[in-house]
């Protein structure tokens, strides 16, 4: 009997390990020994790949004390929760998550979200998601501190093939492991109803969005249906649980957040697309902007908006002249009035540093305006003529690019990079 047991016990262990290795979404023991042993010790089994899809962090109004965690699943998960702890600690806290759903492009998505609060500033945490007796692996996050930080800025990622976008994201993340969060400047996808594009977008940011939060912007392409008609941006408004703006009608459309000593304002510039569905959008957003920015006491004020403030003429054509766009006419005087330091825009798929502008003219006392470029594979070579307010233009023909925003003490620095890390522009503001 003893001899039989000596043979059977190792055999059982081998079979158990093999069974685990073939569970959906599971990794080998050699890949994840820590997670496996912890789950077994806690009486949990690992979540399958369809139970913990696109785990992500979302920016909150105050990143020093809170963090939003979201994920998706292909079926309802009653009792969904997030467990978290100071990194390496034994004591685990938990918070109940939502179990909601929306249907778009004939696909039902189950969403789970929770905002962790009362966190300690400048602290490293780890978290996992789960429901019932199932748990994901642990992921890292860190709360904001004081003194300095870096953010990655991605322009439009709209693509017909998201491999280039994936390569850019991963390269930028690798080159900036100290980044605290990342921004995507609108037109995340080419078609806002196409669920395959959203999956491609989330697949591309895997490994980044689970460890640092995203601050997304709504672009015009998020408002298109499969027939390229405008509609409410259903998918975008459900996929990102963003800081409250005081309006249930315009939830997740525009918002603001603080990071260290910077107040960021994220605007919705899709008035042309959404006015028919939400009359009075521009007027309501302007009032919200005035109220929001007048209350901040942060040293720096940065505005993020999808559509650009300038109008560009076409090369070799006379049917369009340079000037100030409708969006620029509406908001630039407000930026002057409320002392905005930096305005970042997108939409035109070209990188242009305009320097400082006030009262629609070159003026060192006005905000710094930068058109952030392009991060997807949709480009417009030889389309735009240079604007008289342009200071720096990306090398032509343009390729993908990303930016970094760094704040340290009295200096705010912006820099633009090609996918290989080559810097193409930089500018500093001191205060």
Confidence of residue 42 (pLDDT cuts 50, 70, 90): low
Mean residue pLDDT across the chain: 91
The average pLDDT across 123-135 equals: 97
Tokens 């979201």 sit at which residue?
70
The per-residue pLDDT for 29 is 26
The average pLDDT across 415-422 equals: 96
- Nearest-angstrom CA–CA distance, 73 and 178: 30
For residue 171, give Cα distances in angstroms to 79, 129, 213. Answer: 37, 27, 17
143 touches 169 (CB < 8 A) = no
Number of residues written out for the chain: 431
Instruction: Name which residue leads in pLDDT, 171 or 35.
Output: 171
- Nearest-angstrom CA–CA distance, 12 and 70: 37
Domains and CATH numbers, the chain: 31-142 (2.60.40.10), 148-430 (3.60.21.10)
| pLDDT at residue 386 is higher than 70 | yes
214 touches 255 (CB < 8 A) = no
- Pick the closest to residue 112 from 122, 123, 127 (CA basis): 127
The per-residue pLDDT for 233 is 98
């Amino acid at each position: 009997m003893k001899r039989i047991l000596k043979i059977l016990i190792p055999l059982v262990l081998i079979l158990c390990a093999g069974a685990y290795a073939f569970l959906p979404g599971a990794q080998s023991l050699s890949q994840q020994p820590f997670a496996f042993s912890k789950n077994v010790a806690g009486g949990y089994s690992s979540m399958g790949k369809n139970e913990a899809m696109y785990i992500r962090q979302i920016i909150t109004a105050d990143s020093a004390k809170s963090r939003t965690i979201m994920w998706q699943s292909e079926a309802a998960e009653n009792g969904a929760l997030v467990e978290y702890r100071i990194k390496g600690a034994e004591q685990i806290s938990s918070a109940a998550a939502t179990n909601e759903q929306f249907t778009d492009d004939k696909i039902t998505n189950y969403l789970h979200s929770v905002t962790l609060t009362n966190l300690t500033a400048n602290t490293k945490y780890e978290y996992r998601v789960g429901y019932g007796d199932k748990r994901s692996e642990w992921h890292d996050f860190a709360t904001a501190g004081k003194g300095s930080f870096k953010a990655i800025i991605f322009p439009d990622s709209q693509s017909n093939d998201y491999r280039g976008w994936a390569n850019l994201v991963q390269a930028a993340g690798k080159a900036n492991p100290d980044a605290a969060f990342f921004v995507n400047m609108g037109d995340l996808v080419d078609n806002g109803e196409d669920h395959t594009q959203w999956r491609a977008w989330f697949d591309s940011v895997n490994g980044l969005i689970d460890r640092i939060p995203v601050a997304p912007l709504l672009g015009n392409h998020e408002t298109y249906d499969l027939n390229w008609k405008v509609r409410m941006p259903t998918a975008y408004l459900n996929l990102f649980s963003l800081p409250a703006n005081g309006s249930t009608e315009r939830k997740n459309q525009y918002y603001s957040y603080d990071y260290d000593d910077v107040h960021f304002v994220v605007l919705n510039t899709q008035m042309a697309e959404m006015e028919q569905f939400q009359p009075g959008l521009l007027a309501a957003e302007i009032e919200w902007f005035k109220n929001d920015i007048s209350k901040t006491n942060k040293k720096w004020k940065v505005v993020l908006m999808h559509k650009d403030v300038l109008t560009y003429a076409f090369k070799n054509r006379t049917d369009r002249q340079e000037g100030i766009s409708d969006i620029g006419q509406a908001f630039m005087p407000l930026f002057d009035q409320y002392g905005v330091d930096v305005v970042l825009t997108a939409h035109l798929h070209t990188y242009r540093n305009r320097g400082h502008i006030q009262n629609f003219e070159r003026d060192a006392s006005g905000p710094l305006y930068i058109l952030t470029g392009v991060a997807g594979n949709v480009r417009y070579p030889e389309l735009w003529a240079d604007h008289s307010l342009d200071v720096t233009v990306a090398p032509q023909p343009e390729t993908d690019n990303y930016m970094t925003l760094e704040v340290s003490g009295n200096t705010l620095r912006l820099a633009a990079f090609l996918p290989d890390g080559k810097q193409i522009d930089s500018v500093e503001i001191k205060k």
